[in-house]
Amino acid sequence: MGMIKKICYAGAIICSIIYIMWRGLFTLPLAQSVPEVIYGLFLWLSEILSITTAFVLIWNKKTFKEPLKPNIISTDIFPDVDILIATHNESVSLLYKTINACTFLKYPDKHKVHIYLCDDKNRPEMKMLAEKFKIDYISLAANRHAKAGNFNHALQHSKSPLIATFDADMIPYSDFLMTTVPYFFKRYAALARKKVGFVQTPQSFYNEDIFQHNLYADHVIPNEQDFFSREVNVLNSRHNSAVYTGSNTLFLRTAIEEAGGFPTNTLTEDFQLGAQINSCGYDSISTTEPMASGLTPTDAENIFKQRTRWARGMIQSMKNLHLLSNKGLSWPQKIIYLNGYLYWWSFLGRLLFIFAPILFALFDFRVVNTNFWLLLIFWIPGYGLLTFVKHDLSGNITNQRWGEIQELFFAPYLILPVILETIGIKNNQFKVTKKNGTSNKKDVLYAIPHIIILLLTLVSLIRFNYGKFGSEILYGSVITFWLLNNLINAFFAVLLLIGKPRQTAQTFYVSGVVKISGTEFYNETEICYLTESKIRVKVPSEVVLVPEECYQIVIMTSRYTAHVRAHLDKQYETNDLLMDIEAIDEKNNRQLLQILHDGFNKQLPLERNQWLTTFDLLFDNINRRLRILNRIGKGRGK
């Protein structure tokens, strides 16, 4: 790191500490009403929390060293591996893709890979599916302990020294085992000085999340979970405390056994099991490259239910772990886990930051007692430097603005569950998150709190600045800046819940070629995109297909070949062809699924487009939605 950056980092820490001390000693509204004192105190504590989490990220980033990666040599002995796929109420079609991918996993001796479909509802159709793929089926009736109980039961019916866990919708890439198993070789443990308990590969998704889709940002921003999976959790590896995130993970069986199995006293058995394995003296590693992709929820109802479960589960797990007094965890590990717990309180802080200027502008409710010049002197240096540092630390995945938008989006629906769980009002009912929900009119109802915040912020901005001139505008500029910042975030949160129509199938970019038979044209041609039922290809201008004809198409990539039947759906002016496709038999259908799912979906970005600002995206959203409204208006006029 260059000298200028070092000065900025040091300055951010020093100025932030000075600011927090000044806020606590001189700006709390102790002479105001009791509600103002309480609000002011909580706002100050929220600022401490925000700055503390930033400091933890700085510490984690600056102490990070790239972990040693294992090398495979010809004499390495690959042990037996059990693949556990958990299912509760998911469809056969969803499990088909996951099991199919597991059968394509590369391994020196495929007989050592044992695939288990772990069904906790004892469904006949799941047993038939397992028989079709010639894998093991483990049924469990009347399971009381959700996925944890399901996996604990499966452990009793399997015996390999290594265990991989996958959710029903998480489709592994063929390189998963060859990437993760070498971390457990004795040679690697000796070189890296690690006793590896589990290896976590990033959570990855092949469909657009609600942020990418509803904000027309599927080519602009990565998945909302990427920052934790591919950045924060990788940094956690430096302190041997990578978090187990529930899927795409390879375990040492003895590590699970020493930790007491999958915990059943929490909604987040994944996080707690990982921490318990760490407390038994095992290290955990998180890799940077995705090795499986699944479905992320796309509707408001299910994404809020998912995050509520995570929040409640984290609070339950922290109580179960007795974190601060847990002698099995090092202090760096405790700091990382405590920071993960405090994250769920950041949503309360976001609401406090939102309403503080609103209450001041509308009701003269004063929660900070200072004057304009002192605020500039103590706030601007720390805020500016810390913003720079956060931007530098976030890399190409996210930035401070996106963090604030995401916090505000979730905040109204997470605060009450977090508070209730903290004071002991529990909800231990586990529900599998539905991943196939679609944006609908009901999502707009979830926008009501965000719309209220947006309107209050707008009214406050007008009310606060109405009738001000000259120096009054200057002295009120901090409040104005605060309100404008919140207005932008609130507007994005509302747009997120007023989504655009969702396409019927996720498209995939496939690096490969096709051959179309049944015509004079039988040369290789480029694939534009592919789904399970459609393909779009580029063809020469002289090629004309007949809509009623059935054509034979061969889809070829470097690894797979699929023969499909095709009918012309549409021929574009650019001479691209959109065709409906269907595999000619099950063998080719399995090949087609591998063409789609054996690797990250390159239709979606892994990095944020740094040339496109938040304001660019905001104006683009406004323009797109105005055009849609205009088309609807014209349609009704007809």
**pLDDT grade, residue 1 (50/70/90)?**
low
List the structure tokens of 101: 């991918």
Cα distance between residue 259 and residue 254, in whole Å: 8
According to the model, what pLDDT value does residue 482 have? 95
How do beta strands 283-286 and 196-200 pair? parallel
According to the model, what pLDDT value does residue 235 have? 93
Nearest residue to 549 via CA among 521, 574, 569: 569
Cα distance between residue 170 and residue 36, in whole Å: 49
CB count within 10 Å of CB 407 equals 21
According to the model, what pLDDT value does residue 526 have? 80
- Please state which of the ranges 132-136, 180-184, 611-615 shows the lowest mean pLDDT: 611-615
According to the model, what pLDDT value does residue 543 have? 74
Mean pLDDT throughout 368-381? 92
List the structure tokens of 487: 């207005």
Mean pLDDT throughout 396-413? 92
Output the pTM of the full model.
0.92
Cα distance between residue 422 and residue 416, in whole Å: 10
**Residues 430-453 pLDDT 10s:** 666 666 655 556 788 999 999 999
Cα distance between residue 320 and residue 328, in whole Å: 14
CB count within 10 Å of CB 342 equals 17
Nearest residue to 104 via CA among 36, 40, 174: 174
Mean pLDDT throughout 265-290? 96
According to the model, what pLDDT value does residue 473 have? 87
**Residues 519-528 pLDDT 10s:** 555 566 788 8
Contact 340, 461 (CB under 8 A): no
3-class secondary-structure state, position 96: helix
User: What domains lie within the chain, and their CATH numbers?
Assistant: 3-63+345-426+448-496 (no CATH), 81-343 (3.90.550.10), 513-597 (2.40.10.220)
According to the model, what pLDDT value does residue 539 have? 81
With a pLDDT cut of 70, the percent of the chain lying above it is 95
Question: 431 φ, ψ to 5°?
Answer: -125, 130
Mean pLDDT throughout 626-638? 73
Mean pLDDT of the chain, nearest integer: 91
**pLDDT grade, residue 393 (50/70/90)?**
confident
According to the model, what pLDDT value does residue 638 have? 58
User: Between these two residues, 373 and 503, which has the higher pLDDT value?
Assistant: 373
Mean pLDDT throughout 634-638? 63
Amino acid in position 350: R
CB count within 10 Å of CB 39 equals 21
According to the model, what pLDDT value does residue 435 have? 64
How many residues are present in the chain? 638
Cα distance between residue 18 and residue 12, in whole Å: 10
Mean pLDDT throughout 397-407? 90
User: Rounded to 5, what percent of the chain is helix, strand, coil?
Assistant: 50, 15, 35
Is residue 224 pLDDT above 60, yes or no? yes
3-class secondary-structure state, position 315: helix
Is residue 34 pLDDT above 90, yes or no? yes
**pLDDT grade, residue 279 (50/70/90)?**
very high
Mean pLDDT throughout 122-143? 94
According to the model, what pLDDT value does residue 522 have? 52
According to the model, what pLDDT value does residue 292 have? 97
Cα distance between residue 161 and residue 255, in whole Å: 10
Mean pLDDT throughout 511-538? 80
Is residue 618 pLDDT above 60, yes or no? yes
Cα distance between residue 554 and residue 571, in whole Å: 19
